[in-house]
């Protein structure tokens, strides 16, 4: 990993009994970077060094992913709720000396970012979400196209170890297929990063934990989201929304318009790529984030 994050330091921090793995680099105002499925913090390797020119960058593995801890299951999938993940990362930043910070998340990490903004508004100065819409909105607008395009949401949430057993038959094939199908034609991934994803995804405990993440999304996460909607809670800090113009989300939704129902101060832009913005369009992603953080 040192070859992907040259000059960054590695940390394994205990946050209330959960080990959180992260790398840090740079100097300046802090920014936390969160990855998506089926990746690790390694997905930021082309963006983090650029941001580190003016910021202290923290790139972390979500619980259940990468080299972070994999807590035991809890009733209702609460161990992998976005609320629990957000609390881990607020704790990580506090232990690293940052009480307030910016945060940018992609995919699952963006869902954790959204929850963090709602649960810990006093901690988050500004936030960015990459290539997602709010979980609540996605479930509420599910149709045939979404069910086919986002079939993994429903597959990974199946009970009784079914997806774990099927993915476990060839986890590397499953992971590489996901990267290929969700990226735009011609996209190129750094083989070192992909090998890192494969290394972690070969662990059956990681496959199970990531399935629990998706099980939580359709249960306890939705309960939290509905409670916030009923109470009128929205994201109050400035929110940057980025999406891949050749990805599924942009093909089905007016991304920025949807987010304006969930946040008070939204600005957004589409980048010429598929789902994996930080790897398919790293310079454009880094520039958009840097400009936003400098406001």
Residues recognised as catalytic: 107, 275
- Per the CB < 8 A criterion, the answer to whether 292 and 53 are in contact is no
> Residues 20, 60: contact at Cβ < 8 Å?
yes
**How far is it, in rounded angstroms, from Cα 150 to Cα 190?**
25
CB within 8 A of 258, min separation 6: which ones? 133, 134, 137
**Are 61 and 41 contacting, i.e. CB atoms less than 8 angstroms apart?**
yes
Sheet hosting strand 56-60, strand order edge to edge = 9-15, 18-25, 56-60, 30-34, 101-106, 124-130, 239-244, 266-271
Q: How far apart are CA 48 and CA 30, in angstroms?
A: 12
Q: Which residues fall within 8 angstroms of residue 226, CB to CB, at 6 or more apart? A: 136
* CB of 128 closer than 8 Å to CB of 292: yes
Whole-angstrom distance between the N-terminal and C-terminal Cα of the chain? Answer: 31
CB neighbour burial string for 267-276, b if at least 16 within 10 angstroms, e if fewer: ebebbebbbb
């Amino acid at each position: 990993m040192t070859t992907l994050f040259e000059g960054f330091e590695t940390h394994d921090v205990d946050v209330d009994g959960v080990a959180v793995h992260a790398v840090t680099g740079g100097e300046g105002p802090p920014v936390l970077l969160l990855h998506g499925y089926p990746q690790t913090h390694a997905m930021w390797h082309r963006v983090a060094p650029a941001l580190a020119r003016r910021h202290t960058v923290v790139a972390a593995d979500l619980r259940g992913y990468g080299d972070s801890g994999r807590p035991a299951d809890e009733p209702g999938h609460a161990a992998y709720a976005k609320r629990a993940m957000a609390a881990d990362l607020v704790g990580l930043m506090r232990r690293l000396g940052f009480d307030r910070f910016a945060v940018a998340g992609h995919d699952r990490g963006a869902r954790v970012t959204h929850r963090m903004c709602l649960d810990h508004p006093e901690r988050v100065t500004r936030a960015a979400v990459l290539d997602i819409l709010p979980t609540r909105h996605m479930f509420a607008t599910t149709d045939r196209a979404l069910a086919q395009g986002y079939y993994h949401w429903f597959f990974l949430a199946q009970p009784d170890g079914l997806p774990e057993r099927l993915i476990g038959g060839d986890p590397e094939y499953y992971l590489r297929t996901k990267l290929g199908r969700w990226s735009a034609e011609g996209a190129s991934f750094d083989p070192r990063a992909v090998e890192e994803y494969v290394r972690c995804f070969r662990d059956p405990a990681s496959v199970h934990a990531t399935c629990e993440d998706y099980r939580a999304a359709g249960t306890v996460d939705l309960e939290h989201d509905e409670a916030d909607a009923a109470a009128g809670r929205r994201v109050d800090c400035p929110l940057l929304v980025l999406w891949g113009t050749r990805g599924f989300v942009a093909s089905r939704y007016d991304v920025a318009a949807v987010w304006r129902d969930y946040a008070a101060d939204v600005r957004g832009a589409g980048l010429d790529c598929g789902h994996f913005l930080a790897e398919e369009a790293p310079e454009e992603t880094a520039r958009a984030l840097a400009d936003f953080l400098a406001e």
